[in-house]
Amino acid sequence: MSSLPALDNFLKLYQLTYLEKLGESPRYYPRGEGSLCIEGEFDPSNYHESNAEISVCWQPVKREEPGSFANVETALGIELGSDIDAFFGEYFSAPLLFNCEWGQGELLQVWNQTDFEYLQQNMIGHLMMKKKLKQAPTWFIGVLGDGDKMLTVDNSDGSVWVEIPGEAPSEKLTNSLNEFIALLTPRVAPPELHIEESMPELDHPGIWNRFKLMWRNLLGK
């Protein structure tokens, strides 16, 4: 078990909840991106825009070699809390939908190694922006609601907060990431097709697209 036992438990419960409610594993739109998470056969080379709406069943997979943010620490000259490796580096998984006392949300996870590297690049951008704004460093773990609320972890003490891009964290939720995850329950819902381009009329864009919208809004200030 990792240093985030609540994540291990939530992933198991997530799979079981979908099996009990829908009779199958959760689904995801891979858009041609292969992953060890995919159940059954999947050939990324057969991907075309015309079949982008084909979803796959998936289950979280424990990584044989855990991912590390040591390269991010070296690049920025910063020491990140150990939970960041445990949260993003232990599994390959699709994003995780949840309900909690603060509403609905989505935890960010990585689909494959390429996704992990993309996440690291975005985390560097986030941390550089925090430094530019002269704000204490945080790192994001997901989104809350349908607006521009990020879920972030205070790098100094590991507490979980609600944060609006460009602003300091505004609402403390829990003292630790493990405590926060332990309060979540899986939310069963159909998969959402990830849209590459930002389209304001979309009610539920993919989680990465929502982050792109946040960064764009921030840079436009």
Q: What is the pLDDT tens value at each position of the chain, 221 positions in all?
A: 458 999 999 999 999 999 999 999 999 998 889 999 999 888 776 666 655 678 899 999 999 999 999 999 999 999 999 999 999 999 999 999 999 999 999 999 999 999 999 999 999 999 999 999 999 999 999 999 976 899 999 999 999 999 998 899 999 999 999 999 999 999 999 988 755 444 333 333 344 555 555 444 443 33
Helices (H), the chain: 5-22, 70-76, 83-89, 113-132, 177-182, 207-219
Question: What is the bridge-based pairing of β-strands 171-174 and 160-163?
Answer: antiparallel
**pLDDT score recorded for residue 3:** 83
Separation CA 158–CA 25 (nearest Å): 32
**pLDDT score recorded for residue 211:** 57
- Going along the chain from its start, the domains and CATH numbers come out as 5-219 (3.40.1580.20)
**pLDDT score recorded for residue 217:** 42
Separation CA 183–CA 192 (nearest Å): 24
Q: Looking at the DSSP assignment, which residues form a beta bridge with residue 98?
A: 105, 186
